[in-house]
Amino acid sequence: MKPSESIASASSSNLSDDSTLRDETSTISTTLTTASVNSDNSVDHDLDKLISERHSKITTTCHKDSEHDPEHHSKFTTWLGLLKKFIGVKDIVATRISLPAQLIEPIGNLEYWNYNDRPDYFVCIGDSDDPLERMLAAIRWWYSKDLKYVKGKLVKPYNSILGEQFFCYWDVTPPSLDDNGNLAASPGVATSDSQSKHRVTCINEQISHHPPISAFYYHCEEKGITACGVDHISARFTGTSVKIGPGDRNKGIYVRLEERDNEEYLMTHPVAAIQGWLKGSLYIVVGEACIITCPKTKLKAILEYKEERWLGKPRFAIEGKIFKYDPENDDVKKLKCVDEEAVLCEVHGSWKGEVHAKIRQTNETRLILNMEAIDPIPKTVKPIAEQGPLESRNVWQKVTAAILSKDYSQATKEKQVIEERQRQKAAAAKAKKEEFEPSFFKLPVIDGQPELKDEGIRVLKQLIGTTN
């Protein structure tokens, strides 16, 4: 679940490393769809770099330098005034109000929110021969996947248009563990040919506009691991916080390990709230629980996010247990209902700090993750000049260029052009009784688990680098 999107929705060829531009969020030269090339490639190159630098700033602690700017305070005041109008509205996501450009972060929603901030932890989920260790690896990835919300700044990206697409990849080196199973330092990005590299690819597509739903698919060919799901949320403003939860189409994240006889994990989303509106300093709190089930190993984890106190600073505390369960007869959803004799491991700590696991059999406690010691790993994205007409950076490039130049009047005009074009397309499709057909994902999506079409598989192979 992505807290930033609740704000967003509530308001409105060959792979070649030769031409790779690597700053913070990298760009690569490749062609996945028919490109619409700008006549001035130098302008596009500069915009690619500015987007990359901006993205790095908002997803790491670098953003704190700008929190005291007058512009930041002005945006916050405007946001609060807008949200007050939604008090009592059951689901503000459905309103899809169009916002002025000065309130928007110049980055596409599909690019910003992705659930894979640490793909190096993703690739090693299936490494161990021990089912308990694989569950712990899945938990490590679960907490790290939204690292941007721990280290970065809450922003409102562009609302995705219907059919919008985003592709990227990461070349990563898996983290290492010491002899006791503690997480050692992880280089994350592979920086030399001598390091083992694993490519993780990402395909995102907006498959519905009303309600807003996107589908995602992450894959590592070398490790035989895939994660997929749909993103659909509901949100409401209470007057003091924005409450966010998964929508009814959102069943969680499915992780499949091909090399473990297609062992599958389903990770359900907790609920979250954006608080701090009255003090002018926003932060996220998470509630209820994430439940991870693996029917093949008959292991289940309940990871509860502890309720914050009314007074004092938030603790962001977590508590969880990994235990044996019967997939055919299971209704346990809370820690207090877990049979203690079935427990194999306890998890505790902070989802913003250190996460520890205590193994019941050996009584040893180990560090499985330290959120304070890591940052999101930059994506590799092809240049705007080589992107197809529906790829995110290309769709929004004129708006982005105007926002980065602080020409908000022009940015709002360009944004309205895109929105009006979408309304016209929707009206024409309705008049012809035509249903939208995604380019890369099959419809309908069953149980929130999207499947790639042949075209999606083709693009996946291109990102991996196995076809032209």
Mark residue 406 as left, alpha or beta (left: phi above 0; alpha: psi -120 to 50; beta: remaining): left
- Dist. CA 358–CA 298, nearest whole Å: 19
What integer pLDDT is reported at residue 296 of this predicted model? 98
- Given a contact cutoff of 8 angstroms between Cβ atoms, the answer to whether 254 and 235 are in contact is no
Reply yes or no on whether the pLDDT at 36 is more than 90: no
Indicate the pLDDT class of residue 233, thresholds 50, 70 and 90.
Answer: confident
State both tokens at 372. Answer: 């304070």
Domain boundaries, the chain: 3-287+377-464
pTM: 0.86
What integer pLDDT is reported at residue 268 of this predicted model? 97
SS3 31: coil
Three-state SS for 34-66 is CCCCCCCHHHHHHHHHHHHHHHHHHHCHHHHHH
Q: Give strand ranges (E) for 103-252.
A: 165-173, 188-189, 198-208, 213-220, 225-231, 233-237, 242-246
For 305, residues 6+ apart whose C-beta sits below 8 A from its C-beta are 270, 285, 286, 287, 288, 289, 290, 316, 317, 318, 351
What integer pLDDT is reported at residue 176 of this predicted model? 80
What is the residue whose two structure tokens read 């790779």? 20
Altogether, the residues listed in the chain come to a count of 468
- Dist. CA 248–CA 262, nearest whole Å: 26
- Dist. CA 107–CA 98, nearest whole Å: 16
Residue type, 112: Y
What integer pLDDT is reported at residue 239 of this predicted model? 75
What percent of the chain has a predicted confidence (pLDDT) above 90?
61
Indicate the pLDDT class of residue 43, thresholds 50, 70 and 90.
Answer: low
List the Cα angle 411/416/421 in 5-degree steps: 135
411 vs 66, 147, 404, 415, CA distance in Å?
A: 21, 29, 9, 6
Backbone angles phi, psi at 172, to 5 degrees: -125, 160
- Given a contact cutoff of 8 angstroms between Cβ atoms, the answer to whether 303 and 289 are in contact is yes
